[in-house]
């Protein structure tokens, strides 16, 4: 396949990746090329974690952090050292050919870090992940999301919701790259606790860490840690219907249904409404002056 100036191989293009919908590998690659302009701003310069489904969503998958040694020149890479002493070299997906290349490897999902090269210790957004504890809690997710928006708005932070593409909802607030993961996680925890306080019903919203003790939707702040990844905006998820992590307008959240957004429906949605996350990475604010508003000690300047 010719993409710009690059020839990108698509092996076994007719291999069925989503049997329930008859969606092939070539369909997946074509989808990602069609949304590349919208998806790439969320991927650029971020370590890319490969979760590979070489034979589609109904067969075995495996995780691969290290980029294959023989990757093409249009796929960049970054060396990462872990606290354990281990290290690896992640792929960096910065352009449409690289996006097609990882999709050809069976990377149905686009999993990335919350930080970008070269400052990989400094995340560039705060994430609140609303994760249902049991079936039938989607209405709670929508209700809690609006509370999260209000808390972030009160702190002077712009926020952008998207369906996770699975069972939950992600809310991202872009921030200046100046604080390390532990401080950002500490800030996110205080947000989650304020949301829990405002909802005031453990059967609806909880920050309880122990899974066995949860009843309501988990207002998850723990994803704001180093080496955690989420499925990026416009990522396809390995569901039978090829569901997509869909950016939303805030006025859609109260009635949104995640199954409405799939590989097949997303191009039409983009044509109709454009990109709700357009421009979200421009001029992010500093978190430093906002810690006190949540009753937190400000981060060290060192």
Give pLDDT tens digits for 239-263.
999 999 999 999 999 999 999 999 9
Q: Do residues 287 and 126 lie in contact, with contact meaning Cβ atoms separated by under 8 Å?
A: yes
The structural domain count of the chain equals 1
User: Does 41 map to a domain?
Assistant: yes
User: Does 210 map to a domain?
Assistant: no
User: How big is the chain by its Cα radius of gyration, in Å?
Assistant: 19
Neighbours of 216 (CB within 10 A): 21
CATH of the domain at 82: 3.90.920.10
Rounded to whole angstroms, the Cα distance separating 199 from 205 reads 7
User: Does 165 map to a domain?
Assistant: no
Percent of the chain topping pLDDT 90: 97
Q: Which domain range does residue 18 map to?
A: 2-121
Listed in sequence order, the residues at least 6 apart from 198 whose beta carbon sits closer than 8 Å to its beta carbon are 147, 150, 151
Q: Do residues 207 and 136 lie in contact, with contact meaning Cβ atoms separated by under 8 Å?
A: no
Asked if residue 118 has a cis previous peptide bond (ω within 30° of 0), the answer is yes
User: Does 31 map to a domain?
Assistant: yes
Rounded to whole angstroms, the Cα distance separating 187 from 298 reads 10
For every residue of the chain, which 3-state class applies, written as one string? Answer: CEECCEECCCCCCCCEEECCCCEEHHHHHHHHHHCHHHHHHHHCCCEEEEEECCCCCCCCCEEECCCCCCCCCCCEEEEEECCCCCEEEEEECCCHHHHHHHHHCCCCCCEECCEECCEEEEECEEEEEEECCCCCCHHHHHHHHHHHHHHHHHCCCCCEEEECCCCCEEEEEECCCCCCHHHHHHHHHHHHHHHHHHHCCCCCEECCCCHHHCCCEEEECCCCCCCCCEECCCCECCCCCCEECCECCHHHHHHCCHHHCECCCHHHHHHHHCCCCCCCCCCCCCCHHHCHHHCCCCCCCC
- The yes-or-no verdict on residue 145 having pLDDT over 70 is yes
- The yes-or-no verdict on residue 302 having pLDDT over 80 is no
User: Does 28 map to a domain?
Assistant: yes
Give pLDDT tens digits for 193-231.
999 999 999 999 999 999 999 999 999 999 999 999 999
Give pLDDT tens digits for 174-201.
999 999 999 999 999 999 999 999 999 9
pLDDT for residue 300: 86
From residue 176, alpha-carbon distances to 75, 125, 143, 284 in Å are: 26, 8, 28, 5
Rounded to whole angstroms, the Cα distance separating 219 from 181 reads 18
pLDDT for residue 9: 94
pLDDT for residue 160: 98
pLDDT category of residue 276 using cuts at 50, 70 and 90 = very high
User: Does 202 map to a domain?
Assistant: no
- How much is the pTM? 0.95
pLDDT for residue 165: 93
User: Does 103 map to a domain?
Assistant: yes
Percent of the chain topping pLDDT 70: 100
pLDDT for residue 168: 95
- The yes-or-no verdict on residue 128 having pLDDT over 70 is yes
User: Does 160 map to a domain?
Assistant: no
Residues comprising the chain, all counted: 302
pLDDT category of residue 301 using cuts at 50, 70 and 90 = confident
């Amino acid at each position: 396949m010719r993409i710009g100036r690059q020839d990108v191989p698509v092996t076994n293009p007719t291999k069925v990746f989503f049997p329930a919908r008859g969606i092939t590998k070539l369909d997946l690659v074509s989808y990602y090329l069609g949304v590349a302009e919208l998806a790439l701003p969320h991927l650029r310069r971020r370590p890319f974690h490969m979760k590979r489904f070489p034979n589609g969503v109904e067969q075995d998958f495996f995780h691969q952090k290290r980029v294959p040694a023989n990757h093409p020149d249009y796929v960049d890479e970054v060396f990462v050292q872990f606290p354990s002493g281990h290290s690896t070299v992640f792929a960096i997906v910065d352009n449409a050919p690289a996006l097609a290349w990882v999709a050809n490897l069976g990377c149905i999902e686009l999993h990335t870090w919350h930080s970008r090269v070269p400052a990989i210790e400094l995340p560039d957004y705060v994430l609140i992940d609303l994760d249902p504890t049991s079936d039938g809690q989607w209405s709670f997710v929508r209700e809690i999301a609006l509370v999260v928006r209000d808390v972030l708005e009160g702190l002077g932070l712009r926020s952008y919701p998207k369906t996770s593409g699975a069972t939950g909802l992600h809310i991202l607030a872009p921030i200046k790259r100046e604080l390390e993961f532990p401080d950002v996680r500490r800030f996110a925890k205080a947000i989650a606790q304020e949301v829990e306080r405002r909802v005031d019903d453990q059967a609806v919203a909880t920050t309880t860490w122990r899974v066995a003790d949860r009843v309501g939707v988990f207002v998850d702040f723990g994803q704001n840690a180093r080496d955690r990844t989420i499925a990026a905006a416009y990522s396809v998820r390995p569901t039978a219907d090829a569901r997509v992590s869909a950016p939303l307008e805030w006025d859609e959240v109260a009635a949104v249904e995640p199954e409405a957004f799939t590989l097949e429906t997303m191009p039409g949605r983009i044509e109709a409404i454009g990109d709700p996350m357009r421009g979200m990475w421009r001029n992010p604010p500093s978190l430093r002056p906002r810690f006190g508003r949540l009753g937190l000690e400000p981060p060290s300047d060192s």
